Every structure is written in structure tokens, then in C-alpha cells.
């Protein structure tokens, strides 16, 4: 009744102040702590980006090495967690497992319950960044019926994840440098994106004083949806459904038809009304990976042709619908052998640092208030209960 701003979908509501990430959707600019995503993707590795997001500045050599050592030293998960995995049906979606298992970490680290202690908050951040690749790879190994692979501290963050995914006891697995670089870049490009749905979920959960593992589990649950992180999986499923280049026009017409709920997955963005700068970097990486690995996959031909046709179509031009980062990351992930059901898990793994950086920033604010939106009530007026 005039007291609140009615803003469904939060199109015009700033929910907080933040110093972490800046986006100019009209210009297609994305900065983390002032550094452009293009520079970060080119010159920094994922762990340096994590440090920058968490602490606000680039690390010097010693700070970087210490950070890396700490992250590496926390990569093991408690052996008892294996029972959590074994409690899931074998055909469970790995995101279902991740929501459960990451939330379950709350039961293992009691010191993280006292979040008023800055040191405890920092340790929780390290634990999450370190353990996410291990848990993610375990969720895949479990679904594949293969033995879990322990983390290796001699490998880079990306190579260790790939090794835990693909190594089997019967054969030595060697990570190709091209694949390692592509994986690291996917992590970097998904590291943070200001107040998107999952980050806002983490902040809202955190505003009640919930522990960091529970907050990140809430973020993972939100990310799973196909309009958000689930888009990379949905995009590959769509490419499979299209199947061949000659069927693209049919799907383009369906995407334009207002009576058809179908949308081109991997296209459009709430904030970017210009090219998503992450997509530009990912597109480059995508072509590099496809060339270097010499991959011949008809699905990738469909993707490239779809991109070409959609970019020149007046509907997509007028509505400013460009391919987003997930259009290309799905193609790269497929090319490097990651199963489609793991795509959103990899997004969650990469975004954990962004979620935890926002949670940490919120916890460091002088005044904390529980997030509590209001509503416009449209139900029945008061009526007698007869």
C-alpha cells in the first residue's frame, strides 16, 4: 500500500553494497576488485583470482605461495563422508549429491559454527575452496561406479581436479596442458558475478547467521536451476536435441514463438545487453581447445552454426540476446571429456569462491541485518472461520 517498492525478480533493487565485482551490462564490462576479466583470464590463474576476490588485492609472490599451500593442504575430506555418497542412489544427479554433501560439512567442522571469529570464517573459506574439487570429483566417481581418487598436492588446482575425475587405478592419467589451461580458465570465468540468484541466496542465508557450509549448500541448490547455472547442461541437451545443422532454423523459429516455452539455452542474460565479456574469452578458449585437441564432433558443428545464425537474426539482435558464458563453457567441457551431468557441478565449484567472498564481506560489515523482503498480499481478506 505505497510502503514498499514492488520489484519482482529484483530488476531494480540493490540489495547490498559490495566492493568485489563490478558489471556494466550495457558496455559488456566485468571487473573483479577493479581488474578486468580479460586481464585476469589472460594473466592470472584461478587461485590468484580467488585471492583477489577474497582479500581485495593481488597477492605478492610469498602471499600467493602461502595461499596455494593452504588451499592444497585442505583438499582431503573426512573419510566418513564416503558414507554420505554411498547413501545416494547410484543414478543421482551429481548436483543433488553436492547440495547434500556440502551442507553435511557443517557437521564436521564445529569451529565454523562460531562465525563471529574472523579466523574461523577464514578457515571455512579455505576449506570450501579446497574441498569443492574433491567433493565434485567424488560425486562423479560415485555415479560412474569407480573408486574415489584422493587429491594430489603436487598438481595445480585444475590438474588435481581433472586427475580426481579421470584417473583410474588401472592406467596412468596424464593431464594435457591444453585441457588444464582450459579447465583453469573455466574456473576463473565463473568465479564471481556480483548479486546473481545464487550469490543473493548465499547472502540471504548468511544474513540469518547460518554457518558457511549451509549457506554455500543453499547457493548450490539455487545454481542448479536451468535459468542459472543449469544452463550449461541444458545447452548441451538442447544441442543434442537439435542434432544436425539443418534443424537449426526450426529451433530458432521455436525460440521466437511466444506460444512456445522453448528458449535458446546459453543465450541472453539479465545484466548483459551486450556481449558477455566472459563469453568472448570463453569463445577464444573454445576454438583453441577444439583446434588443439583436433576434435571432430557433429554437436560442436551445430553449436558453431547456431551461434552464427542467432547472431545475425533480427529477433536476437533486437532483444540483445547474445551467447552467454555457458554456451561456450558447455562446448569446452564436452570437448575435454566432462560428462554433461557434471557441468553445473563445475560451475558450483568455480563459484564457491565468489559466494564465500560475498558471505565474508557481509560478515565483516559493521551492522548486520537479516534479509527480509516484504510482499504485496493478493489473497483473501479476513473472513470468518465457520
Positions annotated as catalytic residues are 269, 326
Residues binding ligand CMC: number (CB under 6 A): 19
Task: Establish if 188 lies at the interface with ligand CMC (CB under 6 A).
Answer: no
Question: Helices 343-363 and 197-207: crossing angle, nearest 10°?
Answer: 40
**Contact (Cβ atoms closer than 8 angstroms) between residue 101 and residue 81:** yes
Q: Kindly indicate which of the ranges 86-94, 109-117, 224-232, 361-369 contains the residues binding ligand CMC, using the contact rule CB under 6 A.
A: 224-232
3-state secondary structure 87-132: CCCCCCCHHHHHHHHHHHHHHCCHHHHCCCCHHHHHHHHHHHHHHH
Q: Kindly indicate which of the ranges 27-35, 120-128, 163-171, 257-265 contains the residues binding ligand CMC, using the contact rule CB under 6 A.
A: 257-265
Give the residue with the Cβ less far from ligand CMC, 124 or 349.
349
**Contact (Cβ atoms closer than 8 angstroms) between residue 371 and residue 207:** yes
Q: Kindly indicate which of the ranges 41-49, 150-158, 213-221, 222-230 contains the residues binding ligand CMC, using the contact rule CB under 6 A.
A: 222-230
Mask for 293-322, x = binds ligand CMC (CB under 6 A)? --------------------------x-x-
Using the Cα atoms of residue 52, residue 55, residue 57 and residue 59 in order, give the sign of their dihedral: negative
Task: Establish if 264 lies at the interface with ligand CMC (CB under 6 A).
Answer: yes
Task: Establish if 104 lies at the interface with ligand CMC (CB under 6 A).
Answer: no
Output the smallest distance, CB 266 to ligand CMC, in A: 5
Q: Kindly indicate which of the ranges 29-37, 143-151, 238-246, 258-266 contains the residues binding ligand CMC, using the contact rule CB under 6 A.
A: 258-266
Task: Establish if 196 lies at the interface with ligand CMC (CB under 6 A).
Answer: yes
Instruction: Pick the binder of ligand CMC from 326, 330, 358, 361 (CB under 6 A).
Output: 326
Backbone φ and ψ for 31, nearest 5 degrees, come out as -125, 135
Q: Is residue 36 helix, strand or coil?
A: strand
251: closest CA among 237, 271, 232? 237
Instruction: Pick the binder of ligand CMC from 121, 228, 283, 358 (CB under 6 A).
Output: 228
- Burial code (b: 16+ CB inside 10 Å, e: under 16) for 151-165 equals beeebbbbbbbbbbb
Residue nearest to ligand CMC (CB): 268
Task: Establish if 266 lies at the interface with ligand CMC (CB under 6 A).
Answer: yes
Instruction: Pick the binder of ligand CMC from 58, 270, 273, 287 (CB under 6 A).
Output: 270
Q: Kindly indicate which of the ranges 35-43, 158-166, 267-275, 334-342 contains the residues binding ligand CMC, using the contact rule CB under 6 A.
A: 267-275
Task: Establish if 273 lies at the interface with ligand CMC (CB under 6 A).
Answer: no
Give the residue with the Cβ less far from ligand CMC, 31 or 113.
31
99: closest CA among 221, 7, 207? 221
Backbone φ and ψ for 137, nearest 5 degrees, come out as -65, -35
Angle, alpha carbons 36-37-38 (nearest 5°): 90
Task: Establish if 151 lies at the interface with ligand CMC (CB under 6 A).
Answer: no
Residue 36 CA to residue 13 CA, distance in Å, equals 25
Output the smallest distance, CB 223 to ligand CMC, in A: 7
Residue 214 CA to residue 16 CA, distance in Å, equals 21
Give the residue with the Cβ less far from ligand CMC, 74 or 270.
270
Task: Establish if 238 lies at the interface with ligand CMC (CB under 6 A).
Answer: no
Question: How far does the chain reach from its first CA to its final CA, in angstroms?
Answer: 29
Question: Helices 325-335 and 277-293: crossing angle, nearest 10°?
Answer: 20
Task: Establish if 267 lies at the interface with ligand CMC (CB under 6 A).
Answer: yes
- Where along the sequence are the contacts to ligand CMC (CB under 6 A)? 193, 196, 227-229, 231, 255, 263-270, 319, 321, 324, 326
Amino acid at each position: 500500500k505505497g510502503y514498499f517498492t514492488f520489484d519482482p525478480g529484483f530488476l531494480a533493487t540493490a540489495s547490498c553494497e559490495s566492493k568485489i565485482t563490478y558489471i556494466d551490462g550495457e558496455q559488456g564490462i566485468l571487473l573483479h576488485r577493479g581488474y578486468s576479466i580479460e586481464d585476469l583470464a589472460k594473466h592470472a590463474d584461478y587461485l590468484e583470482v580467488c585471492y583477489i576476490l577474497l582479500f581485495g588485492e593481488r597477492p605478492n609472490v610469498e602471499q600467493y605461495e602461502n595461499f596455494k599451500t593452504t588451499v592444497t593442504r585442505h583438499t582431503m575430506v573426512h573419510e566418513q563422508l564416503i558414507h554420505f555418497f554411498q547413501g545416494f542412489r547410484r543414478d543421482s544427479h551429481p548436483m543433488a549429491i553436492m547440495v547434500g554433501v556440502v551442507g553435511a560439512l557443517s557437521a564436521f567442522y564445529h569451529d565454523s559454527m562460531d562465525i563471529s571469529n574472523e579466523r574461523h570464517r577464514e578457515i571455512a573459506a579455505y576449506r570450501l575452496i579446497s574441498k569443492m574439487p574433491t567433493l565434485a570429483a567424488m560425486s562423479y566417481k560415485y555415479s560412474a561406479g569407480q573408486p574415489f581418487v584422493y587429491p594430489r598436492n603436487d598438481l595445480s588446482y585444475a590438474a588435481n581436479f581433472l586427475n580426481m575425475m579421470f584417473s583410474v587405478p588401472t592406467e596412468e592419467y596424464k593431464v594435457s596442458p591444453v585441457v588444464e589451461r582450459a579447465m583453469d580458465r573455466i574456473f576463473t570465468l565463473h568465479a564471481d558475478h556480483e548479486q546473481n540468484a545464487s550469490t543473493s541466496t548465499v547472502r540471504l542465508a548468511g544474513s540469518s547467521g547460518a554457518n558457511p557450509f549451509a549457506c554455500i549448500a543453499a547457493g548450490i541448490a539455487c545454481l542448479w536451476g536451468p535459468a542459472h547455472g543449469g544452463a550449461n547442461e541444458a545447452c548441451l541437451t538442447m544441442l543434442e536435441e537439435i542434432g544436425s545443422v539443418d534443424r537449426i532454423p526450426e529451433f530458432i523459429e521455436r525460440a521466437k514463438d511466444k506460444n512456445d516455452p522453448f528458449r535458446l539455452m546459453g543465450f541472453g542474460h539479465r545484466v548483459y545487453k551486450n556481449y558477455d565479456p566472459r563469453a568472448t574469452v570463453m569463445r577464444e578458449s573454445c576454438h583453441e581447445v577444439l583446434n588443439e585437441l583436433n576434435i571432430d564432433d557433429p554437436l560442436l558443428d551445430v553449436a558453431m552454426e547456431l551461434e552464427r545464425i542467432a547472431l545475425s537474426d533480427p529477433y536476437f539482435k533486437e532483444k540483445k540476446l547474445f551467447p552467454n558464458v555457458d554456451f561456450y563453457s558447455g562446448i569446452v567441457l564436452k570437448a575435454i571429456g566432462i560428462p554433461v551431468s557434471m557441468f553445473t557441478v563445475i560451475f558450483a565449484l568455480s563459484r564457491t569462491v565468489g559466494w564465500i567472498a560475498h558471505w565474508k564481506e557481509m560478515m565483516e560489515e559493521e551492522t548486520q541485518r537479516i534479509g527480509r523482503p516484504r510482499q504485496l498480499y493478493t489473497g483473501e481478506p479476513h473472513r470468518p472461520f465457520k
